[in-house]
Structures are given as C-alpha cells and as structure tokens.
Structure 1
Amino acid sequence: MCVAVSGGGDSLALLLIAADWAQTRGRDVCALTVDHGLRPEAAGEARFVAEIAARYGIPHRTLRWEPPQPGQAKARRARHQLLAAAAREAGSVVILTAHTQDDNAETFLIRARAGSGWYGLAGIQPLSLSPAEPPGVPVLLGRPLLATPRAALRDLLRTQGEDWVEDPSNENPAYERVRVRRTLAEDPALRARILALQERLQLLRQLQDQALANWLTADVELRPDGALRAPLPLPPGERGERALAALIALASGRTRPVRSDALSRLSRRVTRPDTLRPATLGGAIVAVRKDRLHVTAEHGLAPEQVNAIPARLAAMVTACSGHM
C-alpha cells in the first residue's frame, strides 16, 4: 500500500497512522511525495518527508515532474500519473490520500456554487478509481480520514512530537478553497449543517453506486476486442447516465469525465433506440444493434489497453462498492 505525503499536517498524520497499521499487521507501506518543481521549497519539503518516513522505517520515494508546467489542472494530472506509476512499480493497487472531514465540507460549498447535483454534493468518496490515464494496472484512491477533522490530525502530530509543512497557498485568498475554508471557520454551525446533510446524501449515493456496481457485474458483456454490450433499456434516471458514462470510459480508455450536458442528450437518445444512429462521445462510439447497446473505442486501442479493460471494469466495480 502507498501513501501520498506532501509534508502537510494531514498527510503526515496519515503516514503515522499507516505506519502503525502496517506494523501491527505485518504489512508493507511506501510513502510517495510529488515534487512538481513549481516552488523552490518543494525539494526541501520532499527531503523533510523522507526523513520522517525513515524514522518510522517506511520506504520513501520523491517523484519529480519533468518538465514542470504552469497550471493547476496540468499539475493535478501529472501528480496522479506519477503516483499511479510509482504505486504499480511498488506492487500496490491502492494509494491512500489524506482528505479530511474539513475537505468534504469545503467541497460541498465549492460544488454547490458550481451547480452540482445531489450526487456530487454527497462529497469526496472513500474509494475511487484514480484519474491517471492507462495503460497499466488500475489504481484505486483510498481516503480513510474523511470522518476525521483536520484539527484532530494536528493534535496527533503534536502528541508524537512531529512538525509539518505549511503550504503558503493555503493562506492565499486567490484560491476558492481558501476562501471557503475561512467561511466555514467563521461559522461552525454552517459546517455542522453541511456535514449532517452530506451524511444523508452519502447514504443515497452508496445505494446508487452499489446498484451501478451490480449492473456492471451482471449485465455488461465484455468482448475480446474491448467492445462492451449491455441490455436495453439502461437503468432508469440518473443511474442510466452514470451507466452510460462508465461504458464510455471503459471502451475509450479515458479517465476524464464526459460533459454532463452531452451525456444527458445521448442518454435520452438511447431511450429511443429505433431512431438512434451511431454517436460518438468521450472517445467512444455508441450504437444499438439487435436491441443491445454497443460501445466501442472511437479509435483503435493498443493491445495492452484492450487487455487492461477487464481489470479496469473490476476496479470500477470495487470503487462503486466502496470497499476492497
């Protein structure tokens, strides 16, 4: 198992928790730190993490992005690619990240402002498929601290006599998350209401995701050439859109979500199979043949990408189920 550790308080606390877990169970843990090369302090922070990991007997790797490029979206994609590749090299299919209860509350307000529906407002998920692009064995992101407040993790570090790094960007109001964090700090009652609502939404999402996992397991046929077939009609409502999105992602080998408006339009067209002509979306071709939905890659996939689809399907089912 691998742990993503930046040097901040959340991820360092997760590293200590993982080290204790591994020691009591005789398991291996590897710490991974990404140096994007965008801040001069990053190299020193990676060395700081390496020193702490060494004290706890945990192997550590610093992953460098070469060449660094400006832009948060690019840096995020590069981070996931580097972490996934390192996890595979370490023989792990799970990377733990230190998202906390506070991150979930902040995410609620950010997504609400962006117009997210109830499914997104349910928050960060405890288990999800890494957005790293194939090829390679699918990697899952585990988030065991979603019920833990950020302050409790800082208290844990203090009791252990450990310090942590404070990223200056966490105080920069130019970032929306920083502004949202300040709003929640000033209004604890708002934070409590958000978390209570998220708990209810999370229960609903778990039911929806488990139903999708059951559908993917029972009804989807995977062909040797990488094509996928599914019976019609698709599951009702929003679940049908998510089912279609899952088939498109599997067939195309892409991890970026398709546009929700385009997905909704195509999902409505699929409900009228007699008039549906083959359509393309997200790098996949969607067609109806003999009352079954067929989804194939728009452009030919490399053999290793085709061979990885069964494992990717299994990982998607695991993520939807919410447990390993």
Structure 2
Amino acid sequence: MRTLTKPAELEEIEQSIDLILTIDEITSLIEPIGISALSTRKQEWLDEIINYHNEMSQNKRLSHNGRVDFSKFKVQLEWIYNNPSVRRKTDFIKKIRDCYVNNGILCPYCGVSPCRTLDHYYNKALLPQFSFLPANLIPCCGDCNKDKGIKKSFGKWKRIINPYYDNYDSLLPDEPPIVIIFKENPFPNVDMSFVVIANNKLTSIVRKHINFHLKKIRIGLLHQEMISNSFWRNAKQLRLYKTLHNSNQISVQAYDTLIDNLITKNSNINYDWEYIIRFSLFKIKINHWIYNSTLDKLQ
C-alpha cells in the first residue's frame, strides 16, 4: 500500500490519449474478427468509460448492477489490449507500462517490488469495455498482479486499494493510515510478532478496505524483515529516551523534542515505514510493553 509515484513522461502520454478516436479506429477495422460489430455500440461504450470515472470518483467503486454487458466482445477486446497498435491508437498501453518499468517505480499495491506490468483493477474478462481504459490500468509488480488475479472489486466492504482514487493519507494528516501492533513472546522461542492494521481513527468502511488490502496483498509478510529490523532499533531508542527522562538526565522539554523529532513524518519520503513504526510504538499503548521488557534484544 503505497502512494503511486508518476513518472515525469506520463503527463505527455496521457495528454496524447483520445479514447473517442481510439474507439473509432478500433471499430473501423476488421481485425480481430467480430470487432466491427461494436461500431453500433460506440456511444454505450463511451458512456461506460465516462461513468467509470464518475462512479469511481464518487463511490471509489463501480456498481455491478449498473454495467452494460460487453462480455460478447471480451475475446476481441483482450486481444486489442495484448496487441498495442499505433494504427488503433492503443500504443499508449505499452508507453504507460514502459514508463513505470523504466523508472523503477515501486508497486503501489505492496510497496516492495518494482512495477513490471499493468493490472486491470476491474478484470478485463469481467468488464471487457475497460480493457484499455487508462484509469483501469494499475502499474504493479508481477506478484501482486497474480495475487489479485480475477478477484472482483465490486465489494462494498472488501476491495483492493486503488492508487488512482483512494487517498487515505489525507484523511488523517497527522497520523499514518496504517499502524502496527507488536506482541512480546507470542510463541515459544519467538521474541516478537506483529500485525499491520488500519488506524482505528478511520471510518469503519475505510478500515475494512485497508484491512482487506493488507490481508490479500500480504503486506506484513512482504515487509516482515524491514519491519522487524526497524522495530528493534526504534524500540531501543525510545527506551533510552524514557530512561533519560525518568532519571532526570534530560528535561521534559528536551524529551518532548526528541520524541517529536522521532515520530514526525518525513514529507520527502513517499511511504515512510519508519514513521509508521515509530508512531505505533509511541502512540499505541498496547505497544508500551517495550519499556518494561526484559528481552535481550532491547537491552
């Protein structure tokens, strides 16, 4: 779950896209077989494309019952997506994919691996009319594309976070949208475990969306090593500050300044796990076991 970084050249690519012209070109050709039959449904197709943005902007998801059935053309439209063409005005598909790949942009679904492909947020077999709609093409890594697979995204409560239409950072400007709960000695011979969850201050429906995403994309597992290493380092730092404060070696003001510097978000970083971990350790009381723990790694 990461804010999507857009390459500089993307703006020029997007400005060159004319979907009305693209649809005209596609339906004027005879390849693939059967595509010309869409020429009588161009207005329906365009209406679907317009409604996509309107619905996603307003509701963050599409209504299943409100869709026009284009399933008859799914084979043809999938072929068109898989074969970008200057003649059909669909070469922007390859350009969008390449600009993310060439710039090494990290996957917005997991935040771990670089983008290598485009995911159809709404599966092209289910809704073929959006097969090459840029707003439906999410740059992501191969693993996330595979894990998400053909999961339907119509669910009101369960859906993958959409980097184009979801901006949860703005909902809690002074707190991260996700936090981490750390547990001491959860199992024999295990010093610490953790779970990544949505911030409880978010609304119920937003928490459901985030928690579904965290589970399906396996965020905790993918970031396990980094979170673990950061936990031990920052927990020891907080313990040190607490010890200095309790022993009157530093003033209350100095202590507060140290804490503020430690848990303040770095606005220059796209997605700051260090900030999330430090915030979680200091602000979430259940994590305060770190101050009294006798674990060797915290000494």
TM-score (normalised: structure 1):
0.28
Larger Rg: 2
The structure where strand makes up a greater share of residues is: 1
